[in-house]
Amino acid sequence: MNRILLIGSESPTGKSLSRTLGGLGFGVDHAADNAAGLALARKRKYSHVLIDDDPSQGDAAALFRQVLEVQQGTIGVLLTSATNLNTVFTAVDSGIHRVLAKPVDYDQLLPLLDPSLARKENGFTESDIAALSLTDIHERLSLSELIQIIRSVDYPFAGKHRLEHFDRDTLERVVHLVSRWCRQRERRKLEQGQGSGAASEEPFFAVAG
């Protein structure tokens, strides 16, 4: 089961999260404030870091950047009352996986705690990408992960240098094509290994940006 670090555990949202996640069987370590959260992050490994945004405690995005320095691959979730575009863009730029509005909707939060989504320190392999489902692509992957996937393979897409300027819908469509391309490559390798001949790859399509 995942090990989760909850920063802001003494707030009403934090206390509710602690009770609910603990009742569902998740292992949760609690930090009352940003300083305590960073101290815990330096001591043990966490699959997920949940930050209950409290402006009086400082910048949540800056905090997560510090967490990532010692917790490479952890999934960050920001819980905030200020779900405006500026908050979302700042959070995503810091590496945070998803921004959720308070009060927390557990139908949105719980899928993010799937252990299979914990990001790998060395990035995504072709096998990881081939195994992505539509739900993974459309609901579980962050913008930064969509971009990471596209750039991690030699899929012939001309817009790799400007992915940060694409909207999410375009990135999702490209990742869907990349995933299908990876599955085809895996099938081809398997068939070659079995001596049954190489299968032709499906045609790929570049998305104009």
DSSP 118-176: PPPTT---HHHHHT--HHIIIII--HHHHHHHHHHS----TTGGGGGGS-HHHHHHHHH
Q: How far apart are alpha carbons 147 and 106 in whole angstroms?
A: 26
pLDDT band at 90 (very low <50, low <70, confident <90, very high): confident
pLDDT score, position 116: 55
Average pLDDT, integer, range 174-185: 92
* Residue 146 dihedral angles phi and psi, to the nearest 5°: -60, -45
Closest by CA position to 104, among listed 52, 59, 46, 55: 52
Looking at residue 200, its pLDDT comes to 47
Q: Edge-to-edge strands of the sheet including 3-7?
A: 27-31, 3-7, 48-52, 75-80, 98-101
User: Mean pLDDT over residues 72-80, rounded?
Assistant: 88
Beta carbons of 173 and 141 less than 8 angstroms apart:
no
Domain 3-117 falls in which CATH fold? Rossmann fold (3.40.50)
Q: Say how far apart CA 41 and CA 37 lie, in whole Å.
A: 6
Quote the strand ranges of the chain, DSSP E.
3-7, 27-31, 48-52, 75-80, 98-101
Comparing 45-49, 53-57, 60-64, 181-185, the range with the smallest average pLDDT is: 53-57
With a cut of 60, say whether residue 208 has pLDDT above it: no
How much of the chain exceeds pLDDT 70, in percent? Answer: 88
Rounded to whole angstroms, how far apart are CA atoms 25 and 190?
A: 39
Flag whether pLDDT at 122 surpasses 50: no
pTM for the whole structure: 0.56
- Per-domain boundaries in the chain: 3-117, 126-193
13, two tokens? 């949202």
Q: What is the pLDDT of residue 126?
A: 85
Instruction: Write the single-letter amino acid at 57.
Output: Q
SS3 of 5, please? strand
